[in-house]
Amino acid sequence: MAKKETQTSKIKIKKKLWYRILAPQIFGQKEIGETYLSSPEEALGRSMKINLKDLTGNVKDQNIYIDFKVSKVDGSVLKASVKGYQLAATHVKKLVRKNTDRMDDYFVFKSKDGKEIVLKSIIITAHKTQRSVRKQLRTQLKAFFEKELKENDFLTFVNDLVTRKVQAGIRKQLHKVYPLKEATVRMLFIKEQISDKEKNEIKAEEPAPRKEEIKETKKELTLPTEEEAEETEEVAEDLASPEEA
């Protein structure tokens, strides 16, 4: 009796392995995650967001998130680089109170290492302020960030944010203008590394103008009433006519 021929499959299945993901040196190369892949190169370019509290162990850091990107393969280990920094949106909302002024600004700077940095700041004053005061606060804040990024590379600036050195510098400089409740970086990222999806998420977090700001703008654009216009015309006529002897 003839033996049946056994067919063997020629499809090769790649074996998957677990790869650890490590944070950069400024965070002590702590493990921030792991992934199950057939090849470590598949992880390159992947992004992940980590709560700063998990990196520092400090409860005060729970409202801050650090964005990482897998940028290097070192044997069975994946190394991540810092891509951005941001405050939790819920935390920002809690900072805003009545009878204060909130100022959000958007800046683009070049760091010492030549990276194009997008920075979004927030200032919350202790009380209501005049427009001239708000303008001076914004001008000085922009000058502060420009100087800091010109003197430091991106990673050093992020490290100074994490250790609150930047926030202390902002308060010291702006407190001379007006007392503040908060002044800090709301969001920071490298422009070329941000994806379209992340851009849309960032745009969605943009605060709507406050009622006070809308009222102030309307007030500035309000045209004179008919009575005010008539009074102006009467004054002009009086000035144009010769005085009675």
Is pLDDT of 214 > 50? no
Is pLDDT of 217 > 80? no
Going by C-beta distance under 8 Å and a sequence separation of 6 or more, which residues neighbour residue 183? 121, 122, 123, 124, 141, 167, 170, 171, 174
Query: What is the rounded distance in angstroms from the CA atom of residue 154 to the CA atom of residue 163?
Result: 14
Contact 26/158 with Cβ under 8 angstroms?
yes
DSSP secondary structure, 103-136, as one string: EEEEEEEE-TTS-EEEEEEEEEESS---HHHHHH
Residue 76: the pLDDT is 86
Residue type, 7: Q
Give the confidence band of 154 by pLDDT, cuts at 50, 70, 90: very high
Give the confidence band of 131 by pLDDT, cuts at 50, 70, 90: very high
The arithmetic mean of pLDDT across residues 201-207, rounded, is: 54
Is pLDDT of 6 > 90? no
> What share of the chain has pLDDT > 90, as a percent?
64
Q: What sign does the CA torsion over 163, 166, 170, 173 have? A: positive
Work out the widest C-alpha separation in the chain, in whole angstroms: 144
Least confident of 9-13, 84-88, 185-189: 9-13
The count of C-alpha atoms lying within 13 angstroms of the C-alpha of 231, restricted to the half-sphere facing its C-beta, is: 5
Do you know the residue count of the chain? 245
Give the confidence band of 116 by pLDDT, cuts at 50, 70, 90: very high
Residue 194: the pLDDT is 66
Query: What is the rounded distance in angstroms from the CA atom of residue 77 to the CA atom of residue 67?
Result: 19
Q: Is 14 helix (H, G, I), strand (E, B) or coil?
A: coil
pTM: 0.74
The arithmetic mean of pLDDT across residues 113-138, rounded, is: 94
Tokens of 7: 């067919």
Residue 198: the pLDDT is 57
Residue 230: the pLDDT is 57
Is pLDDT of 25 > 50? yes
Least confident of 20-24, 34-38, 148-152, 225-229: 225-229
Is pLDDT of 218 > 60? no
Residue 89: the pLDDT is 92
